[in-house]
Amino acid sequence: MVTVTIWNEFRHEREDEDAAAVYPDGIHATIADALTDHEVRTATLDEPEHGLTEEVLEETDVLLWWGHIAHDEVADEVVDRVQERVLEGMGLLVLHSGHFSKVFKRLMGTTCNLQWREDGATERLWVVDPGHPIADGVDESIELPQTEMYGEPFDVPEPDRLVFTSWFEGGEVFRSGCCYRRGNGRIFYFRPGHETYPIYENEEIRQVLRNAVDWASPTGGSPRTFGERE
């Protein structure tokens, strides 16, 4: 069974009434409810070592990352540790505003900047790679009636595979589902999510999260041997 750790900054939900109304137990708890076929634990910013000790990461197959207003409070030492584990093979799902997390910027090497607007208008995520397992069971598009807009340009390396592209009512587009491999690790950036829109209650979004966890789970491989040779 795949072991998943859901990391959440968990500040909005404790400080903001609107967020608490949507995610009373935290975004991580709602996401955990979606991953019923996986062994799930959660970790949050204000725990010691942000809940991401070496032991926790060692036992984690796939790490999910949600952060927004406190990216800078994440200790570089923990970022190092997460990066190292991804390169060794741990999967990583970066959600929504996690695009600006230290972890994602570290692994991408770019600013990960974008355009945005808080307008609560409609988003439609189109599957542009219908053969991808992350799109399994999804219809040709997923419609979210109210979202924050993210628009291009999105300053990330060209994805290995682009699975979703979003259409926004206000006139923008965005590469919303981007697959990368770094070292042995599989990384999936998935745009949907917000602290006050109930995106992670959406059944299609939950299906994508489940698919992405399975896709990002470590697979076997060959030795990763470096250094001097005889």
- Residue closer to a second copy by CB (options 60, 165) is 165
Residue with tokens 């009434």: 17
**55 secondary structure, DSSP code:** H
Q: Does 72 bind a second copy (CB under 8 A)?
A: no
Question: CB under 8 A: which stretch of 5-13, 30-38, 127-135, 188-196 binds a second copy?
Answer: 127-135
For residue 37, state whether it binds a second copy (rule: CB under 8 A). no
Q: Which candidate, 135, 131, 128, 107, places its Cα nearest to that of 174? A: 128
Q: Which of these segments, 30-38, 48-56, 60-68, 218-226, binds a second copy (CB under 8 A)?
A: 218-226
* Pairwise CA distance, residues 26 & 8, whole Å: 8
Q: How far is the CB of 86 from a second copy (least distance, A)?
A: 9
Is position 131 an interface residue for a second copy (rule: CB under 8 A)?
Answer: yes
Stretch touching a second copy by CB under 8 A, among 14-22, 42-50, 191-199, 213-221:
213-221
Kindly list the distances between the CA atom of residue 127 and the CA atoms of 79, 148, 200, 212, 214, in Å, as whole numbers in the listed order: 31, 19, 18, 14, 18
Q: Say whether residue 219 binds a second copy (CB under 8 A).
A: yes
Question: Which residue shows structure tokens 């592209």?
Answer: 165
Q: Cβ distance 71 to 103 under 8 Å? A: no
Q: How far apart are the first and last CA of the chain?
A: 39
Within 89-196, residue ranges assigned H as helices are 102-108
Site for a second copy in 140-179 (CB under 8 A): 140, 149, 151-155, 157-158, 160-162, 165-168, 171-173, 175
Q: Where do contacts with a second copy occur on this chain (CB under 8 A)?
A: 83, 87, 89, 106-111, 113-117, 124, 126-133, 135-140, 149, 151-155, 157-158, 160-162, 165-168, 171-173, 175, 180-185, 219-230
